[in-house]
Structure 1
Amino acid sequence: MATAPPTALAGGNAGSASCSAHSGCSALGLTGDCCPSLSGKDLACCDEPAQENAAPQVQTLADLGAAAGDAVDTSVAAWHPDNSWWKTEPPQSDETSCLMEHRFGCDVIAHHLTCLGSRDGRAEATIDGLKIRGQPCVWCGGGPCRSGSISLCEPLDYLMNGEGKAFTAFYAKPVYQAAKCKDGEPVPPQRIFRQPPLPVIPTLAPWWLPESRPDEDMLGCLSTLSKGCFQAETMGECLMSKDGSGLDKIKGLKVQGEACVWCGGGLCMSNSSAVCAPFDYALRGEGTAFPLFYAKTNYKVASCPQERKKEHHLPAFEFSCLQEAEEGCHKLTDAASCLSSVDGSGLTHKDGFRIKGQPCVWCNGGACTSDSWNKCEPFDWVMNGQGQAYNYHFGVDRYTLAGCKNDRPAAISMKEYRMTVDGYSIVPLDARPLVPFWVAQKPAPETLKCLKPAPGGCNQLRDMGSCMTSKDGRSMESFMGMKIAGEPCVWCGGIACTTNSTSLCEPFDYLMYGSHVAFDDFVAKGVYKVSDCEKGDVKLPNYDYQCLEKSGKGGCANIWNAEECLASKDGRSVSTVGVLQVQDQPCVWCGGTACHSGKNALCEAFDFALNGESTAFMTFFASDTFRLAACKSGKPTPATLKGFDSFVPGWSALPRIPMFNHSWYKTPAPTGNELTCLMDHWYGCDKVGHEDTCLGSKDAQPQALFGPGIQIEGSPCAWCGGGPCISGSTALCQPFSLLMQGEGTNFTTFFAKNHYQVARCKNGKPLPPMPTKTSPQIVYVPVSGSLASPPQGPTLERPLVLPPVGGATADVAVPPAGDDIGSSPDLVPLSAEPPGLPPLAPLPGAAPVPAYPVADAAHPVATVAPVAMAAPVTPGAMAALATTAAPSQPLGASEDSDRGISALTLPPVATIAPLNLGTIIPGVVAGASEDSDSGSGA
């Protein structure tokens, strides 16, 4: 067998060269120390060094044949070129010692220098039996390395040995370069182009012969056709048989026991009308037993169907309601009959495929296969028989399968119920109508146990809450063939269910199947909901609720202000409403608007509000704005599902003027243990294009490359949400210090202010990617009222803190030095708390703050005198106000327990309506705050 030249050969001389080391001689299959003169040209292999991947130079086919002579193997396998021409040998240990161990794997690298300077450092030693850990990375020339992936870089052994095993094709065979060390440094990128060796052209056997003939194991399942393969008339019969005619040979070619060969539906050979023939006779008989074999390109050899992988299996639907078609599916000619039947013929198998009991398949009014005009066929035969039982499946893209829904026939596909069926119109008298696509799957009996019987029937219920928690309690078993008693009620979305009634609720079976029987039409097809015992799965957070007071008998829904709602739990005497808990549930404030579509309540019990959608009401409106009543340090404190949050949507103490803080997005850099788990990325954060790599790395480029300005070396990487981080660069990842300090000096604009994430460690591991979204922070200054006396009642936000006139400033709470991320102080309540109202608790670490400065003889407190303004606030007035504001205590900081994020997230204000402004007092603290982790401050 001819051997291709090796991919790398050292130079040689007359004493060391050999024919096998020379591409031209090797292509001729020659061996030895020198090439003979009979090659027809002076190959001079003894006088020149062999060259890597040199293409063999052969003059003519005559020369090639004369040179090869009898040495060329005439077998089919011998002339195939050696397919290892592109492979690279595994490197020695000293050739990988300088490479960076990339813990996230070669396949996430998109930069050629990083790829050619790294080896795979993943925990997995192998994938699909191919080596991964420790393998040098391979750069694939800037394009995808392999099929099934867009990775530009992969581990060496995975690419060298994975083709046909882990993936279909390795695309970069001619141009790839493997990472390798030379003189202690990674070898730089090189221009590489490999070429496969030319094959040796042998004396060919017939090109249409398969690589191997069927053996006894492959023929074991085939039926012995006593009349012989020549007499088979159908594709299925031919391809499930071997010859049993008793005729041993014809003109020296085997017949008896040979697998039958189907000739594509046409004649097999020029001297016979047979469409099927024995293997050896058909494929080797041309020129001996007959002049010409016609089916060279379209024949098929009989094989066992068990050895073929079936592409289609019955989907997970119910089929028990289908009736048997006694003559078989193929005899049915209309959609209604086909799609309500299973094959009931006595034939268990045909052509190796199951027949009896298989659901029928409707081919949408056309022929199912190329071999007949049948419009309906059994599932296994028609879906898996192409190429074995028939040539082509015409209905592969337009079939419909018989199935069941609610114990009635229904049209289905492999994944879902069909909305329409081609060819389905008039239902024959002996066929049952198909279930319409809009009919819901009836809830299982075990999910209906909690429903209460409605004695007057579902049709007497007029509200969604009652309908969705009931089943029909009438004694009437059925009406015009539709079930009534015990049926779950169906809510019709607040509109009349049918054209013949004003009922808003009806029993399930009556409503789903009563159209054109009990009433003209069901008009709520797109909005109805079926009652059951299922509800939402939002769990009550594990907070303290002991400090909450019980509401009145009307429950949380009778509370109309945030202060009372967020200090209460439901005081109703009933424990549940349907399947929803209400009694003693903490109240939920819905942001100052209606909680749900059922009524205009602003406050509701937790389980009713969070889990009542589609059960007690149609839509929950406050999923993004609700706050939950909870206790902190024994005092009522508003909370979300993730943590306490003193910002309460829909509540405000005083009108306020917005001021923009331009540092809202900045966050302190991770320090100490937050950096220990990060990988030192030798090639820099800006070379990373993979999110996990970015969030698990810090920049390890020498600071000397950047000068004494911004500290790049050791800076954690920051991921910019999948888009460019800064102007002038397409990098998706950058050093954190550059993003925080470089805008306006090193680059023009930082694009990812509201969605970047910084690499940091938690419990010794990099934090995974998580959704981030911050908004520009707005701080507020009151615009009316006296500032000398506090407002009445408790407050949910920080009061304005004014310094005494004359320059002295009031004490404010500030985060203690070295405070951990996420532990910045919470809101500080008013120091003077009116009696009788529950105070809101501050977070730990907050210093007490006086509500307002106390006037004395030396420092009187100024008051704001209202001044009427007829025009909106001008940009100049806003700029003047901004210059007087100084950083102060965070206003409305929130705490995220998972990420350590403190942020006041308030919507930016686009326009400001005319207001009555008081005199602006220089030195007023505008409540600037700094967010310690999420990149936002106000």
Structure 2
Amino acid sequence: MTRLAWHHVFATLLFAGSAYMMEDATTACLMWQGDGCESITDETLCVHSRDGMAHDFFGSVRLGKACGWHKRGICERVDEWMRKREDPGDYKVATCKDGETINTTIAAVQPPASTETHSTPGARAHMPWGAVKLQPMDGGSNRACRGVTQGQTGFVSRQYNLWTAQTLDDCKALCTGPCTGIEFQASKKYCETWFGDILFSTKSDGFECYVKENIDQASKLAMIRPQDDSCLREEIRGCGALQDRYSCLSSKDGSDTTDIYGLKVKGEPCIWCGGTACRTGSANKCEPFDFLMRGMGKEHGFDSFTAVGSFETPTCEAGKSTVFDEAAQMVFGNVDCLKKQAEGCGAIKDRSTCLSSVDGRQFPGLKVENQPCVWCGGAPCNTDNDNLCEPYGFALNDKSGAFHTYFSAACEAGQPVEESISTAMARQGSVKVVNCGLPNPTWLGVSKNCGFCKVQVADQAAESYLSCNAYCQAQGGLQCAKAFKGFMSSCDVGPEITCDAAFEKNSYPVCECSPATVKDNGPNVMMATHLPRPAEEKLACLDVVAEGCGSLKDQLKCLSSKDGSVADYRGLKIAGEPCVWCGGGSCSDNDENVLCAAYDFLANGQGLAFTSRQAITVMDVAHCKEPRTSFGNVDCLNRVSEGCGSLQDKDTCLASVDGSPYKQLAGLKVEGQPCVWCGGGPCSEHGNLCEPHEFVVHGVGHAFNTGTSIYTTAACEAGKPVQHEMPSSMANYGANVAVDCGIPNPIWYKVGKVCGFCKVQVAKMALPVYKNCTGYCKAQGLTCSKAFKGYLHSCDVESPLGCDEAFGTETAPLCQCSPALIKAIYTAFGWPNSSVLH
């Protein structure tokens, strides 16, 4: 092939390769082929197509490159035949003529994504998976898809393949198997089939975004969604207008707003958020179900569902509205002595009549009839009317528990009596959803919810269960963790008691139960086995991160740290736990933005704090590695306060030691380590050309994943910096070399470095063999003269050592042997006479 021909090929490739970045005239009319050029079997389709596959199996970019038809009857990308150095004349290359557009091409050739041509030659050859069920993202219309952040278009990270599709349905049909969603632009017949997560969308005229239906989320919501809402009244102002509990929990949204960018509103049952704001960005205490349950994190939704642990959902029972946590709440005892007020408690204006009556109304949708009337201390019971007396449920609505001025009607010995509301609540209790791991169980006999797995037990329940052991056991077989005496209608605790201590009368007990045991489940046992927690002594060097491991986004910082935030979470230890790096991905589905997490949370939290976690094979846990002094004298080297990693040239690197302000990095000793030069290339994927000795030698697979083997390290000899390759096989294993030690020069064994007349550094691997310098010199047929402690790779002397003194942990001893006694040899055999010498 001529040089001119290759220049033509290169120019064609260059333009084709940039087609997806800008609509070049040579490729703008070509159809996108999301399965790649090689999947096309028809010549006509091939020479009208460009590659729409994001990248190949090796990660090489291929998107936008024109297809070419080879005379052998195959379709390939232009860079493929350039790589093979084949003759361009054997290819017919896809290109555009002046004035041609995508519509011109479609008029002549059916697109590969057409629903009419899936079985025709040259069309998409196969669909190995079933079609994915899609739903509009934030309404779908005029929305462009975005990935795991609102700014991730998916282009740079290659999250999608590109197709040409004539209609939205054609584009949807291409979303199969692992496809997570599609983006379609009708004007350009442009279709993206995504394989990365689509968590956001943004406003973009002319685009449509659809995502795979979240079946897991849908099944979870179906469990708490009201099964029967026929008794709920329509609130024409919308759920958000309702300010009290009973109005909210007897209603569904009847406003004119059908949906908010795909989040259903009209017809949705209203959710009560415990008297506080349901979400960020709004003060509404009541919201429609679908909007509240699926709106978190959406651009047109809200950032946080703040009432996630305190919301209540309505349902209907026997044609009347009830609440999940009120199934056993309205236990008023005997009310037979009370007079029924046909007009309802709200019509009563005096205390005496109020506290001798029950409500006689059959209020549509509400469980009101036969509830005892409550006197609200002479002030209005609620903010939406002036009623001084209300039925029990109405009066308690939207109140947090300070009922010392509220009194309820009751009967005792056949006569009306007054009872404070706080006393009634403490006595009767209710059925409540208590936050105690996944799933959150429903607990019985709760007077007050006091936090994670912790409640005040109602008086009636205390009479039944007798102790916190028995009470926790009744809540799904849980174990008691702690028990306290308490105060009426309060989460304040008095003296701690044992879990099996019998409840005393009027002790208002507070029981804290242990969450369901999940440490012994398969996934948690597997993590503890394959990634065990380091011993405490291996954590001493780690930096304490006050914001917690979850705040760290960098591998080295994560593997240099332990958590210093909260003591525990849902019974899982947090503070003091070593951080775990999750390979650069989300550690669990508890929070997809957390890349680093506390060990106990991650190792034992599946089924308690989250439902799934990252693969164990990509995780690593922070720990201290024992520094191994395998380098020489560094006294002459310059101390670099910015650290070895800041150095960019070999000579400076190999004349320096690390003087960083931090002692360790990913548990590896840094401070005081000689710098290592990595042959001019990066020492690891972190990109530094120079790194501390311990980090380079012992950090692979922990502090970094890839590295070089061309290492040179700094050391000192005779007070000056010297360079040597590492690991030095001679220093470690030794060599048999000639040593100047008289005539003739003998061959000495296991020499690490020759240091002068009859003097050597003994190789590391020989130390256990010879034990001391006496033994070493004897092996060379000599006797020991002097012995010294030294420095690896150096003849410098650190301190004297006795000839018979064991090498022990000394790694670089110097042995000086006495030369052979030649005079003694000649004396034994006779001194030669002058004739012999001449």
TM-score (norm 1): 0.23
Structure having the higher helix fraction is 2
Q: Which has the higher contact order (CA 8 A, sep 6+)?
A: 1
TM-score (norm 2): 0.25
Structure having the higher strand fraction is 2
